[in-house]
Amino acid sequence: MGQQGQEIDSLSFTDVEIDDPFWSPRIRTNRDVTIEYQYEQLKESGTLENFRRAAEGLSGGFSGMWFQDSDAYKWLEAASYVLATEADPDLKSRVDEVVELIDAAQEDDGYLNTYFTLVEPGERWTNLHIMHELYCAGHLVEAAVAHHRSTGEHSLLDIATTFVDHIEDVFGDDDFDGAPGHEELELALVKLYRVTDEERYLDLAQYFVDVRGHDADRFRWEIEHADEVAGYGEGKALDKGPVKTFLDDNGEYDGSYAQAHVPLEEQTTVEGHSVRAMYLYAGVTDLAMETDDEIPVAVLEDLWHNMTERRMYITGGIGPEAEHEGFTEDYDLRNEDAYAETCAAIGSIFWNQRMLEFTGEAKYADLIERTLYNGFLAGIGLNGKKFFYENPLKSSGDHHRKGWFTCACCPPNAARLFASLGGYLFGQDENSLFIHQYVGSNVSADVDDSTVDLELKSDLPWSGDVTIDVTVSDKSSFPLCLRVPSWSEETSISVNGEPVDPTVEDNYLILEREWTDDRIDISFEQTVREIRAHPDVESDAGLVAIERGPLVYCFEATDNDRSLHQYVLPRDGQFEAEHRESLLGGMTILRGEASIPDLSEWESCLYRPVRKTEREDATLTAVPYFAWDNREPGEMRVWVRGEE
């Protein structure tokens, strides 16, 4: 049963059990290390203490960032996803404890934000552009929905709905209009609608989308009256720094930082803070699915084209600029100073999953795959305890993952994605089953009056070999649609050992037959590809990147003798893949022909005419980009010089 206007319903994370040689250890580390570690951080950073103080009716003594409540909510969301697929009484009791704390901290009228309760109780809703009350509310709602779907309980859901009802009252006032400074609540309200069937939550989400970017918007007023609003001033959360993110070079108001420069339907380029942008687009796509409205999705498709054709790293990372954590201009894809925040990659996965659901187009699943294996996965250290906030594509060796951040948005965001990865793999429409991502797993779905069990085994990302065992409760004929990854140059497929040649629609193989108990074997060919960037990308001029299967590779100093800028890949050079079980838990490395300069000609000489090539043969070794900075520190590059 798809939603209205929705092509393909994703199968829920609650119905998918992941069992995959690549992903399962990472999900295990996420559960055993990251979620534990993050719980400790909730305590150490004072996040839980903020709730406790608010619950006890204390004043002041707020610790950390003013939106730090959201760390607890994201942890709850991740922990809830874990509880959906495994019994874990210890984790469950800590979840219960945190939920109780939150419950106690909620004010009598439903309001819930410990910064305001403790520091500026009289200043609620006066500073929407930066104070993140609605952003935190969104994460509360997402946690509540996850908690309810995993446990069946209503405790956190009740807290969330009470707060949302209060928000509805505040923003229902005809004299007060405003949008969230950091989008998030929009998509959360659609989730809330989906578990409650309360249409007013959809209406509130639509209101927040519609009010954004209008001339008389609240943000403009707040920026112009920054002295009068919450957050700014002695003893408060902030100096006036954030105000300037809402000003253009001439000091005039410009809402593009929060996608509020013009109404969404007039936006044609992805602008501003990239996490904000992704969450907005995800929420709008959700709304469009519920309202069967093609118009906003057409706008989003244009934005998607702008992003993917002009403003996205090859890793799927987005947002090159650190200062406003976001987008700049077409083809600005600087490598060394790339911001490419881990949360933005996660946000892009959220949005693309919804676009995939709405349109059924494989390109969105392709981008999810690219982002998942590269721009997202690089953000998390192999030990599960260290994280990148920024994901540059070039480093001189001084950029390293850290244990935690003052603004700790990325680690818990990664945790909730790992813990809910099962929800990104399979889809279903009225009579078809879809496999979007090849992650080893078991899933059950009701199709055509039959219960279908799929047992998927995948050797991705190291090879393109996939096996699917299909078991049906009753003989059933339905199309099983298998995405052909864009990187597969040749795909071979057999059913029960017999080669088949199914039709392909929009990069989905359509396998339709009367299913009994059947085995499907697929081989997606993985070749090593030398990729160039559009000629307008100055940062990549003269450079090539190496991909194999879904992986973008990179070069690290520890594997290569010379400084990486000295290597040049020849025009038709070959790379050989070699799987090393002993390397970082098992990695396929690539070794390729290259040339390096003959240094003997350069003694005591800084500049000289060189007419002929004075180069010698060398080998260049690459490792998956996601695995970088897990060994000795040193230089790293995704893009290396390649002969034209």
Tell me the closest approach of the beta carbon of residue 488 to its own copies, in angstroms. Answer: 13
**Residue 613 binds its own copies, judged by CB under 8 A:** yes
Q: Which residues, 6 or more positions from 344, have their beta carbon under 8 angstroms from its beta carbon?
A: 274, 275, 278, 317, 318, 319, 325, 326
Among 513, 591, 631, 641, binds its own copies (CB under 8 A): 641
**Residue 568 binds its own copies, judged by CB under 8 A:** yes
**Residue 323 binds its own copies, judged by CB under 8 A:** no
Among 529, 593, 619, 634, binds its own copies (CB under 8 A): 529
Distances, alpha carbon 438 to alpha carbons 359, 466, 588, in Å: 20, 7, 18
80 vs 152: CA distance, rounded Å: 11
147 vs 455: CA distance, rounded Å: 27
Part in contact with its own copies (CB under 8 A); list of ranges 57-65, 175-183, 493-501, 536-544: 536-544
Part in contact with its own copies (CB under 8 A); list of ranges 1-9, 27-35, 211-219, 535-543: 535-543
Mind giving me the DSSP string for 588-602? EEEEEEEEEE-GGGG
- Residues 45-84 close enough to bind its own copies by CB under 8 A: none
Tell me the closest approach of the beta carbon of residue 550 to its own copies, in angstroms. Answer: 14
Residue 199: how many CB atoms within 10 A of its CB? 10
- Compute φ and ψ for 144, nearest 5 degrees: -65, -40
Which of 164, 29, 37, 58 is CA-nearest to residue 118?
58
- Which entry of 136, 409, 410, 481 is annotated as an active-site residue? 409
Q: Which lies closer to its own copies via its Cβ, residue 121 or residue 597?
A: 597
Among 531, 577, 583, 618, binds its own copies (CB under 8 A): 531
CB 362 within 8 A of CB 343: no
Tell me the closest approach of the beta carbon of residue 315 to its own copies, in angstroms. Answer: 10
**Residue 368 binds its own copies, judged by CB under 8 A:** no
Verify whether residue 644 is a known catalytic residue.
Answer: no
Q: What is the DSSP letter of 312?
A: B
**Residue 600 binds its own copies, judged by CB under 8 A:** no
- Residues 256-315 close enough to bind its own copies by CB under 8 A: 305, 308-310, 312, 314
435 vs 375: CA distance, rounded Å: 22
Query: How many residues bind to its own copies according to rule CB under 8 A?
Result: 44
Q: Are strands 568-569 and 640-642 parallel, antiparallel or unpaired?
A: parallel
Cα angle for residues 109, 113, 114 (degrees, 5° grid): 115
Mind giving me the DSSP string for 442-479? EEEEEETTEEEEEEEEE-TTT--EEEEEEEEEEEEEEE
- Residues 570-589 close enough to bind its own copies by CB under 8 A: 571-572
223 vs 247: CA distance, rounded Å: 9
**Residue 604 binds its own copies, judged by CB under 8 A:** yes
Among 225, 534, 579, 580, binds its own copies (CB under 8 A): 534
Task: Spell out, one character per residue from 482 to 521, where the chain touches its own copies: x when CB under 8 A holds, - when not.
Answer: ----------------------------------------
Residue 93: how many CB atoms within 10 A of its CB? 10
- Helices 274-291 and 342-359 meet at what angle, rounded to 10? 20
Q: Which lies closer to its own copies via its Cβ, residue 44 or residue 248?
A: 248
Q: Are strands 433-435 and 465-483 parallel, antiparallel or unpaired?
A: parallel
**Residue 611 binds its own copies, judged by CB under 8 A:** yes
Structure tokens at 63: 């610790």
Tell me the closest approach of the beta carbon of residue 606 to its own copies, in angstroms. Answer: 5
**Residue 431 binds its own copies, judged by CB under 8 A:** no
Verify whether residue 325 is a known catalytic residue.
Answer: yes
Q: Which residues, 6 or more positions from 221, have their beta carbon under 8 angstroms from its beta carbon?
A: none
Among 475, 563, 586, 632, binds its own copies (CB under 8 A): 563
Q: Which lies closer to its own copies via its Cβ, residue 230 or residue 568?
A: 568
Q: Which lies closer to its own copies via its Cβ, residue 263 or residue 597?
A: 597
Tell me the closest approach of the beta carbon of residue 540 to its own copies, in angstroms. Answer: 9
Residues known to be catalytic: 325, 409
What is the contact surface with its own copies in residues (CB under 8 A)?
Answer: 305, 308-310, 312, 314, 529-538, 541-542, 545, 563, 565-566, 568, 571-572, 595-597, 599, 602, 604-613, 615, 641, 643-644
